[in-house]
Structures are given as structure tokens and as C-alpha cells.
Chains A and B, each alone.
Chain A
Amino acid sequence: MRRIREIVAVTVVAGCVLGTAAQTLAYEGGEVKDGGTISGTIKFAGTPPARKELQVTKDKEICGKKQHMNWDLVVGPNKGIENAVVSLLDVKKGEKWAMTKTTLDQNGCEYTPHVAVMPAGGELDILNSDGILHNIHTYGQVNSSINRAQPKFKKVLTEKFAKPDIIKVTCDAHSWMLGWLVVSDHPYVAVTNDKGEFTLRNVPPGNYKLEVWQETLGKKVQNVVVKAKQETKVTVELAK
């Protein structure tokens, strides 16, 4: 009996300590003075593979309006990688994230955007512009899986993801559909444009770890120093 009491006591104390620890680890959003900027380009090292065409196997009258190309690795001119995700790791303090709502559209049986960024705990509006049955099937690392139907009459579905995560999104009705959701607890996260460029604004000065993730090329981490009111240029190369 005494043993049990001891264990309980230890657990409670440990829980309190860890709880406060977790709280101090959590991101704190507020005003940022003299913030710097990180900008740069994510490039592909080597010869980029050609994009393949995806076969539209059903609902051709809606899905087959345009040609579907593979989105999993898109390399633009000057080898800039589109849809790579750049984010800062272990940011404790910084700008408050104003964004609360993100949209993921299913248009022409394709997810737009291909990679969507959203705040942890924020809402994701999933639109069904196609007016046919889609389903949202998510595969996250930490957030539990969701598989919701979105029939024609359901124009908007709203989902929440509580924890930072990289989540794969598929539609079981249209096997070629593939999208990604990046859930972050701080606003210093960006998706590269078609030239492979990104910008992270208003970063409090300091030393950071910059992580680059791409769905087929994986992750790469690099150190970066941000100085007050200055722009730091970064170029990261990813290879197969």
C-alpha cells in the first residue's frame, strides 16, 4: 500500500514538473522588435527527373478536364524546388500567428495547394469545388487518422489538427490525388514557390536551426543566424 502511495506521489510530482516543462517549451507569440528576415532558395542537386503524367481513371468528365502531372517533385527553372517546406526548429518566442483558417480545395480532382500550411489547433476548411464524392483520408505521424466522406452536397468540411505534424492527405475514391498538410505551432514556416524561393519575415534575432522538408527528398537541417533588421540569405540543396 505504501509503495503504491509512493508511486502515485512520484508520478504526480513528475507530472507537475513535466507539465510546467512542456509549458515552457510551448511557443509564445507576441510582439517582435527589430525582427530579421530569412530568405533563400531550395535547389535540387543533380539532374531533376521529368514529371510524369498521372492517369485519371475515373470521373473523367470532371477530373479529366486538364492534364494531371505528378506533384511529388516539381523542379522549376534554375533547379528551384517547388513545394518544399522551410521551417525553424525549436522556436520559443516570436510573432503571434494571425492566421487561424487555412483552405484546402479539391478542384479538378487535385488538392490546391499541394502543400498547405496551418497553425496547430487552427481550422482547416476543405472545399469540394468538384461536386463529386471525395474523401479526406489523412495519415499523420502524431495526429490521429481521419477518413471523412465529402459528398457533393457537402461544400465545406472543417477539420482541426491539434499537434504540429506533417500529414499526408489522400482520397480513396481517386487514387492519384495526393496532398500534404504542414501543421506548425509557430508562424515561421513557408512553402517554396515555383522558383524554389521562400521568405520568413519578422524573425527575432538569434541562432536557429532551419529545417527543409520535401515529400520525396526528406529532411535537411541547417544552422542560420538572424540579425536585427537584416536579411539572411540561405540556399539549401536537396538531393535524391
Chain B
Amino acid sequence: MAQRDVKNRIASVKNIEKITRAMEMVAAARLRRAEQRIAALRPYAGAIRRMTRQAAEAAENIPSLPILSEHESERTIAIVLVTRDRGLAGAFNSQILRAGLRAGAEHEEQGRSVVYYAAGRRGVSTLRFRKKDPVGEYVGFTDRPAYANARDIADDVMTAYVDGQVDRVEIFYNGYVSALTQEVRRETLLPLQQATILEASEGDDEDTGHHALVEYEPDPEEILRRLVPDYVEISIFRALLESTASEHGARMTAMRNASENAGELIEDLTLEMNRARQAEITQEIMEVVAGAESLT
């Protein structure tokens, strides 16, 4: 390659490196915000759990809600795929799609039919391309999911479950472990397990012990009827938040790798440029020498 061409390539790789470094920093800032939002959900979820236990003790049992009871046979499975609106984050979206589609294929082999719900444009477009049009599409919020977005998804899957269109609901999302580690998680949303509802988590076990005096408006069974579905909403909201945090973590890592690759490429190209320059000089000297020789 000529010296000038190599020089141009070095310049363009340097520009790319600047962009990827900037994207890495943006992702880091967004990751911090996403981590804060996961932390902000915890007190709310803990309070919901404490209220549920209080109401369940007062009611002396949990009413047999439709979302708690298993259907007699599992004919249709709903799979919720949590992807992002954008790419550029390594294998982030494709690993969710692969895991979800593989699980769907397994269900189909066992004679069950599968319907898909997709959050994020990547999931929607891939499913359409595979001719598996999602029955529920939720896009345009993956940078900053609101609780209302989780409620929309929860309402749709709970409605489908209660009205008998689906017999089980599974969700696939990128669980956030740390900025460097995200893992594909597969959870069953419905039927909801009673054990999940009454499970005590550390920190909220201080029993208040004056339940007998508490007034309920309306009665505890009615309150539980609304509290229990909240678990599904909260699970989905947590999945959306973790997925957002994971996306920024994955993008940060992908951009860091890209910047490092650009750095290596610049070194290689610089070496090549020096070699080309040396070759050109050698060539010129040889021409001069050859010209001088022909004169003598």
C-alpha cells in the first residue's frame, strides 16, 4: 500500500478510536444511573412483601387467585424476550433471542404451541424475520423503562393467563451481575408460586406483632387480590431494569474492546507506513545510483 493510503487509514482508525472511547464513557455514566434505579426499586419491593405477609396473616390464607393456580395441562407457552431497541453491544441481544427461540423449539417438540412477547425493537424485528410475529410488542423505552411499561407487559401476560390463552409464562432477560458480567436468565412468571410470595428476604423479618389491632380497608383478602399480581409487575420491572444495566455494561465492555483493537491497528498500520516509507526511500536511492552508473 502506498504511504499516503496508509496515512489516511491511520487517521480514520484514530477517529474511530475517539468515537468508541466516547461511547465507552457514555455507557459508563448510563450504567451508574441504571444501577441506581435497581437500588431504588428495593425498598418498594420490600414494603410490598411486608404488606403481603401482614395481610396474609390477617386473612389466615392466600385466596386462590387464578394467577396462582396451575392450569390442568400446558398446551400454550408464552415466552417474553427482553431485548433492547439498539444493537452495538456485542452478543447482548442475540444471546437472549437464541435462548428464547431454543426454549420455544423445545416446547414445540413436546407438542406445545408457543407465543412470543417481545420488549425492544431488536427482539421484535428478529421474531418477525423468523416468521414468529410477537403477540405483544413493547418498544421505545429500553433506555429508561418506567414501571408503567412493566405493568403493560404484566397486564397482557396475566390477562392471557387468566383468560386461558396461555398456560405458562416464561421470561428471558440479561441479568445484571456486574459491569463485566451479565447472564441470560430464564424465569417462570406464571403460574406464580405461593412460596415466592411468602418468602422472607433478609432485612424484613422484624415482626411487628400487633396485627390484631390493624384496620383493613377493604378486608385483607381483597387487598391480597391486588397485592399478589404486583409480584408479577415487580418481577418484570426488575427484569427491564437489569436488562438496561446489562446493556450499558455490555456496551461499555464492547466499546473498550473496540478502542483497544483500534489502538493495536494503529500500531500495525504505523509499522506498515514506516516500512512503505523506507521502501520508497530505498527505491529512490537505487534509481539515483542506477542513473549515476549509466553515466559512467
Partners in one complex: no
**Residues of B bordering A, CB below 8 Å:** none
**Residues of A bordering B, CB below 8 Å:** none
